[in-house]
Amino acid sequence: MTKRAALPSLLFVIAGLLLIGFMLAGGFAAVRHLHEIPVALECDGTRGFVVGDHSVTIETKSLSLQHGDDGAAEVIVAGAAFETVLPSWFNQDLFMDVHPAHYSWQDVDSSPGRDLLIWMPASPAGTLLLVASHYLSSGDGLLHVLNTPLQRQYSR
């Protein structure tokens, strides 16, 4: 094979490797973005998480489920050294389907690793807005308050 014939083959291989690299980078970016979308936690359930090297649980309790399909709720966040109760609300009727808490992963503080954001409905009526004002740090595994709460529209 001559040098002239080898050059187009080499360029073809390099272009193919670059294309594969761009596709992998795009795939990683898409997966990273999907972890930032809040995921609903069930009413009256408990879910365990590993945040950094720390095990934590988030429990949701609907306080008025026996009186209807909406009302006050509690979100109980617990770790090895703490337990905190956050007030929330829910609406489990056919058209709203608002859960008392959601979670997502995002790097919030300066510690290495992703932190667990806790999203809750902004209000019991009116707008369908989720607000994250608390997060579990991957550094110390404790519940912290965000200096500036994050907001996003609620979507089913």
In angstroms, how far apart are the furthest CA atoms of the chain? 84
Are the C-beta atoms of residues 82 and 58 closer than 8 Å to each other? no
* Confidence band, pLDDT 50/70/90 cuts, at residue 7: low
* DSSP, res 15: H
Would you state the pLDDT for residue 49? 97
Instruction: Report whether pLDDT(153) > 70.
Output: yes
Total count of residues recorded for the chain? 156
Architecture of domain 39-153: Beta Barrel (2.40)
Q: Are strands 70-78 and 83-91 parallel, antiparallel or unpaired?
A: antiparallel
Task: Specify the amino acid at residue 48.
Answer: G
Would you state the pLDDT for residue 35? 52
User: Please, which residues have CB within 8 angstroms of residue 130's CB and are 6 or more apart in sequence?
Assistant: 38, 102, 119, 120, 121, 122, 151, 152, 153, 154
89-140 pLDDT, tens digit per residue, is: 888 777 778 889 999 999 999 888 999 999 999 876 555 789 999 999 999 9
The rounded mean pLDDT for the chain is: 83
* Confidence band, pLDDT 50/70/90 cuts, at residue 53: very high
Highest mean pLDDT among 2-16, 37-51, 64-78: 37-51
Structural domain spans, the chain: 1-35, 39-153
